[in-house]
Amino acid sequence: MNARDKEEYLREYEILKKKGKSFFPYAIMKDSVMMLVVAAVLIVMSIVMGAEQGPKADPTTTTYVPRPEWYFFYLFELLRVIKPPALVPVATIGIPTICMVLLLLLPFYDRGPERIPWKRPIASIAGVMVIIAMAYLTYMGAVAGSPTEIELETAPRYEQGKQIVAQSGCLACHSIGENGAHGGLGPDLTHIGATVPREAIKRSVAVGPGIMPPFEGLGEKNLNQVSDYLASLD
């Protein structure tokens, strides 16, 4: 902005300032009325529609698949995109923190007086890109499959055992490939077939050594399929 534009801007600002209304009580009154309207709508909705009540929590289950609320789907999908465990803090802490810091510092590094979007191309483009990225990640997070899905390729004959492992909550404590609890309570199962015999694997799954719960309730057929799949991981 050159000196002439700045002078014109200040002149128009002084005119508008004299014609305008003070922040108190006019703006305060409008904001207060709107807050009361929103609060009234929320109260009526909570009375009429009620809160969603899911099934009672079971602390002993290992098959529960947690999913975030819709407004956290973009972070949920971001965690699925950034798979290496060492980079998980970048998705959970680093990126949100950087965005918050940039937002807090906005008045200091963007001091332009313009308010029209097309006269602020950098800020407008950055804002649109953030909105598009969040919308895309939210959509992908909404349609994403179960977070317990195992992406490691396997032979077709072991596919059924792979599905049983994925659906039985094994990844809550173990990891297979890039999926599961890396550094969790249980050991990494990615190459378990190269170090543990099949029968020992089947016995461990059925009995549950240490703090691991027993899975003998899966039945003999499912236990064999799980054992065959885990033994194939070499």
Total structural domains in the chain?
2
- Based on the fold, state whether residues 73 and 121 are members of the same structural domain: yes
Query: Residue 132 is part of a domain; what is its CATH number?
Result: 1.10.287.980
Domain membership flag for residue 44: no
Is there a contact between 76 and 68 (Cβ–Cβ < 8 Å)?
A: yes
Domain membership flag for residue 45: no
Q: pLDDT at residue 63 above 60?
A: no
- Based on the fold, state whether residues 167 and 217 are members of the same structural domain: yes
- Based on the fold, state whether residues 93 and 168 are members of the same structural domain: no
Query: Residue 227 is part of a domain; what is its CATH number?
Result: 1.10.760.10
Look over the chain and give the mean of its residue pLDDT values, rounded to a whole number: 83
pLDDT of residue 43: 93
Domain coverage including residue 72: 63-147
Digit-coded pLDDT (tens) for 94-114: 888 998 898 888 878 777 777
pLDDT of residue 74: 86
Digit-coded pLDDT (tens) for 29-62: 999 999 999 999 999 998 888 777 767 777 666 5
Digit-coded pLDDT (tens) for 154-192: 888 898 888 888 888 787 788 888 777 666 678 888 889
Domain membership flag for residue 24: no
Domain membership flag for residue 93: yes
Domain membership flag for residue 22: no
DSSP state, residue 23: I
DSSP secondary structure of 170-232? GGGT-EETTEE-TTSSSPB-TTGGGTS-HHHHHHHHHH--TTSPP-GGG-HHHHHHHHHHHHT
pLDDT of residue 129: 92
